[in-house]
Structure 1
Amino acid sequence: MSDLATTGAAAARQGRRRGPGRPRAEGIDERLIAAALALIDAGEPVTAGRLVDRSGVSRAAIYRRWPSLTDLVATALDSGRDPHDIPTDGDLRAALYDAFLGGAERGMPGYPEERMRRRLVLGLQDRVVQRAYWDAHVARRRVSTIGVLRAGVERGILRSDVDLEACADLLSGVFYYQLVVRGASLADADVIARCRAAFDVIWQGMAVE
């Protein structure tokens, strides 16, 4: 997919020459994301031709909205995920716990586990996709996690010498290990229990004694 970036940029420039500033038709973004998701969930390559066939949107319209198909795929892969805005005005441990384990405990009907697995596969196959997803979505979600950890340090709840970036990696890594290495499902009770235990260990390691 990374070789489509040049084509996307050219199409975007062509679209701008035809009519910069024109109002966009309602619903086109949603149709494109839905078409990309249908292809991703079916395990089919996301190409401009397939998107046009499934969505009815022109190639020029696609590239007016996304500079490349990689960016569209990254947006589609994040569709359905809960916002990761963690409050810092209350119980920080409870807020962090809910952000990382609440979704798994409640189930995530809008973001099926199979889509998460497809995201991992696509990222491993194409580092451009992986980087685009990181820049557009993961890095932004991570800001909220770091904010909670920093608030804990400022309140004197967490140790002042903790590496916030490393701790954020630890928290996320627990869940990816279940999926990638153990081949487990986050819907299984024993997996959730294992993640809960790991969260407790991480928090205890960060907390002021």
Structure 2
Amino acid sequence: MTIAPVAAVENAAPASAASSGSAGVAVRRGPGRPRDTDLDPQIIRAVLELIDAEQEVTVSRVVERGGVSRAALYRRWPSLTSLIAAALDVGRTVPPEIPVDGDLREALFTAIIGSPTSIDASGYSEARFRQRIRLVMADRELQRAYWSSHVSRRRGPVERALGAGIARGILRADLDVEAAFDAIAGAAYYQLIVRGEPIESPAAQRRLTAAFDITWRGMLAS
């Protein structure tokens, strides 16, 4: 998928905007009409329709399908990359904080693996999830934008719970909480992406439970 910039400058002529540099070029917002937030979902919906139809997402196609002007896009997102990242995150929410006063192992297991909304595909149809994986793997800049703007903030509750476990002396003092999260969540992604097995299948759940237990034993304080 080719990702072109939304605009280099908000007030640039459409022709030059469509042919300007890389997808990460920032928009310099000058004086003018205020942003009409009512158009935001209209634009996002146009992007998702293109993604679901497996069409290349371009400014021209978003403008045509969304019934908005190029200027409307330029006022909202610094690049087409950031717009696609926002569209891919529709339906996702930041998980609630994890209770850390009781059984920390059980609370973490439920939050990461054991609840219907714990796996990262939640909020998506399977088709949308696979489209997201395809898009971010095909474009490293989009992958970084999606990570920094959306995915990383959803890790907060788990990482804070792991930090609380360190503070309580349950988990080892030198625990790398980011690496611990990656190890547990990585097992879930392996089922979905490499094995191609439904996460709710008994076999996948058995492997995920075993992977969690192995990681948990390695995290425990001596």
Q: TM-score, normalised by structure 2?
A: 0.80
Moved more, 179-188 or 63-72: 179-188
Query: In the alignment, does 2:124 pair up with 1:95?
Result: no
Amino acid across the alignment from 1:93: R
Q: Given the alignment of the two structures, is residue 19 of structure 1 paired with residue 40 of structure 2, yes or no? A: no
Q: CA deviation at 1:17?
A: 4.0
* TM-score between the two structures when normalised by the length of structure 1: 0.84
**Which residue identity is paired with 1:176?**
Y
Using the alignment, how far apart are the partners of 1:93 and 1:176 within structure 2?
Answer: 20
Distance 1:79 1:139, change over 3 A: same
Q: Which residue of 2 aligns with 1:153?
A: 166
Number of residue equivalences:
205
Structure 1 residues 65 and 185: CA distance shift in structure 2, 3 A: same
Maintained 8 Å contact 1:81/1:110: yes
Q: Secondary structure at the match of 1:131?
A: helix
Q: Which runs of 5 or more structure 2 residues have no equivalent in the other structure?
A: 13-27
Structure with greater contact order relative to length (CA < 8 Å, sep ≥ 6): 1
Q: Output one character per residue of 1:105-153: Cα deviation in whole Å (capped at 9) or x when no partner.
A: 7997731222222122111211011111111112222233221111101
1:97 and 1:199 in contact (8 A); partners too: yes
Matched with 1:73 is: 84
Query: What secondary structure does 1:146 align onto?
Result: helix
Question: Which 10-residue stretch deviates more, 189-198 or 133-142?
Answer: 189-198
- Between the aligned partners of 2:162 and 2:118, the Cα distance in structure 1 is 22
1:2–1:129 CA contact under 8 A, matched in 2:
no
Structure 1 Cα separation of the partners of residues 123 and 177 of structure 2: 30
Conserved? CA contact 2:171–2:220, under 8 Å: yes
Q: Which of 158, 167, 178 lines up with 2:180 in the alignment? A: 167
- Helix, strand or coil: the match of 1:8? coil
Alignment of 1:53-132 (within 5 A): 53-91=64-102, 92-101=104-113, 102-103=115-116, 110-132=123-145
Residues 2 and 70, structure 1, Cα contact 8 Å, conserved in 2: no
The 1:86/1:122 distance shift into structure 2, 3 A limit, reads same
The 1:192/1:78 distance shift into structure 2, 3 A limit, reads farther
In the TM superposition, residue 163 of structure 1 has moved relative to its aligned partner by 2.1
Report the more deviating stretch, 51-60 or 86-95.
86-95
Greater alpha carbon shift after TM alignment, 93-102 vs 64-73 = 93-102
Measure the CA separation in 1 of the matches of 2:65 and 2:110: 37
Contact 2:108 2:158 in 1 (8 A): yes
Partner of 2:42: 31
- The alignment's C-alpha RMSD in Å is 2.6
Higher deviation after alignment, 29-38 or 186-195: 186-195
1:8 maps to: 7
1:143 counterpart residue number: 156
Amino acid at match of 1:9: A
Shifted more, 57-66 versus 91-100: the winner is: 91-100
